[in-house]
Structure 1
Amino acid sequence: MTARDLATTAIAAFPTIGLEALTTDAALLTRVDRKYVVPVDAAASLLHDLRRSADAPAALEIDGERELAYRSVYFDTPDLLSFRLAAHGRRRRFKLRTRTYVDTGAAFLEIKTRGARGLTRKERDAYDLDAADRLTAQARDEVAGALDAIGVAPARADDLDARLQTLYRRTTLLLPGAIPSRATIDLDLGWVDADGTGFTLPRYAIVETKSPGQAGALDRALWRAGYRPQRVSKYATGLAALRPDLPRNRWTRVLTGPFASSLLTRKDASCAA
């Protein structure tokens, strides 16, 4: 049995929870996110250990599926303003994407902005599935307003176009405790650049814990196994992996580690999609 099969087996053994119950129990409007890049076999082992623990998590299930397919399309300017603001750690920055939940056919437009005071704001609105690869005129107007609010010229919204798409399968867990928290496990990770090239990370998972503050049981289990939170962004790190000429110091640790081997599996978008 492969490591991927072991992960699927562990996920299938968790008790389940519906979306409404998940968001009620762990809405986490204020939270601390920690990301880990973990080999799939290690992730599978951790999931099996969690399943056997006294406080086993519950897995989100929608229409009988626990591993839900996601597709995100990220938008940026020709000079990659969004990427460069993140790469240089600028206080004022933004990230814009459409996110499609492939299994349900729902799509959303999401813009995350950070202003001069370091406050992060995320806006999310339902979006036309057929327009998920482009920005409508209404979307550009909304984005222009969000950019203006953080001191970025609103006219830059007219320059935004699709630059990168990411594909993966996500399992969401509700972690029990005095204050419930959440975690996501992303598998079958793939990236496709605007020029059609792409890469996959078949041997790795991205595990993200979302807690109201202090680290939870899953964080501590990851630490005991030798894994620490890493700075990784599906958009920025993926783009830096695809384009070695771009600034990359902010993500050196993962780019010279797990993502380094990804370039060996680079391929056409027709294969990665």
Structure 2
Amino acid sequence: MTLASSLAAGLSLAELRGATLAEVDAAAALQHRVDRKYLVPLDRARRLIAALADSHHVLDLGGRRTTSYLSTYFDTERLGAWRAHVQGRRRRWKVRTRLYVEDGLCRVEVKTKDGRGATVKHALKVPTADYGELTTQAADFVDEVLEQAGIPITAKELSASAEVRYVRAALADLDHGSRVTLDGTLSCHCDDRTAALDPGHVLIETKGGAQPAPADRLLLGMGVRSVSLSKYIVGQSLLTPGLPDNDVRRLARAHFTTEAHPAPLTERIPAA
């Protein structure tokens, strides 16, 4: 069983109604949104999915209900993106290339926070061979987005700093435009070290407007509280020597394990 099929089975995704990518994009493609994140045991994640079954559909891609993601993050030599997040600066940013493995799709993505605290994401489709790099086209795109957001960083100051890998399932309320994503088999890789989320947990993100969505209210009723958690920030906090201690690292230590060797190539490129 592949990592993707294992997550789909663990979350009982086969019991949900499916929706096509076009349907999900039409109803819930929120590029300007508020994200709330939760670290949730698998049994509570299954309860959440069952409770959302009447209102939400699961993204179904020709019978496949999960997607394997590879994301290479870019940062400055002094980890400016990491520090902006940990220090709670109003103007935060992330730059990454993302590969949707089974679909053979690659994008350059730039995420920023606007003055109201909402996440704004910009994306540029690029050839799959460009994954993990900022080509001239990608660098021009990054520079334009960061400049418009008032962030004084340019692509020439950035280099690849970590890779994050996970498998994702996506749910959408087609009537009201909110989304829920569930990420499992999550790991971060930096040089020869790996930090991995406990396989008995998933990272859930709700993506919607300023008011809590039904998924947020259900999780609250289960006793689950939201956390301020970024996959990239967690990875750097746990794997990069010399970084100052912080709340992210203390939270991550309860749910992540670290190893001092790289993941095998078969884990890096999941089977289609």
Question: Normalised by the size of structure 2, how large is the TM-score?
Answer: 0.85
Indicate if the aligned counterparts of 1:14 and 1:56 stay in contact, CA closer than 8 A: no
Q: Secondary structure at the match of 1:245?
A: coil
**Pair 9,219 (structure 1): closer, same or farther in 2 beyond 3 Å:** closer
Q: Which amino acid aligns with 1:84?
A: R
TM-superposition CA deviations, 1:161-208 (whole Å, max 9, x none): 11111111111111366x242100111111111x13212222220011
Aligned residues: 261
Q: Alpha-carbon deviations, 1:20-58, whole Å to 9, x = none? A: 11122223354322110112232223324444xxx2521
Q: Aligned residue for 2:58?
A: 59
Equivalent residues of 2:32, 2:118 under 8 A apart: no
Matches within 5 A, 1:64-143: 64-114=63-113, 120-143=119-142
Cα distance change, pair 244–37 in 1 and its aligned pair in 2 (3 A)? farther
Determine if contact 2:31/2:120 at 8 Å carries over to the other structure.
Answer: no
* Equivalent AA in structure 2 for residue 92 of structure 1: R
1:219 aligns with 2:216: yes
Q: Provide the rounded CA distance (Å) in 1 between the counterparts of 2:260 and 2:19.
A: 37
Q: What one-letter code is carried by the residue in structure 2 that aligns with 1:73?
A: T
Q: Secondary structure at the match of 2:215?
A: helix
In the superposition, relative to structure 1, how do residues 111 and 11 fare at CA in structure 2: closer, same or farther (>3 Å)? Answer: same
**Counterpart amino acid of 1:188?**
T
Tell me which residue corresponds to 1:13. 15
1:32 aligns with one of 31, 34, 39: 34
Partners of 2:11 and 2:146 in 1: CA distance: 44
CA distance in structure 1 between the partners assigned to 2:105 and 2:159 by the alignment? 21
Residue deviations 1:112-149 (CA, integer Å, cap 9, x gap): 23467767542211012111111112222332333334
The 1:16–1:6 alpha-carbon spacing in structure 2 relative to 1, beyond 3 Å, is closer
Report if aligned partners of 1:196, 1:268 keep a CA contact under 8 Å in 2: yes
Rounded Cα–Cα distance in structure 1 between residues aligned with 2:42 and 2:134: 35
Report if the CA contact (8 A) 1:84-1:247 is conserved.
Answer: no
Q: CA deviation at 1:211?
A: 2.3
Give 1:200's aligned residue. 196
SS in 1 for 2:180: strand
Percent identity reads 35
Could you say which residue in structure 1 is the equivalent of 2:229?
232
CA contact (8 A) 2:31 2:121 kept: no
Q: Which amino acid aligns with 1:65?
A: R
CA contact (8 A) 2:164 2:186 kept: yes
Match of 1:190 in 2: 187
Instruction: Classify 1:5/1:252 alpha carbon distance in 2 versus 1 (closer, same or farther; 3 Å).
Output: closer
One-letter identity of the residue aligned with 2:192: G
SS of match in other structure, 1:268: coil
Identify if the C-alpha distance between structure 1 residues 190 and 26 changes in structure 2 by more than 3 Å, giving closer, same or farther: same
Is the aligned partner of 1:255 residue 2:255? no
Q: TM-score, normalised by structure 1?
A: 0.85
Does the 8 Å contact 2:32/2:119 carry over to 1? no
Whole-Å separation in 1 of the counterparts to 2:232 and 2:214 = 28
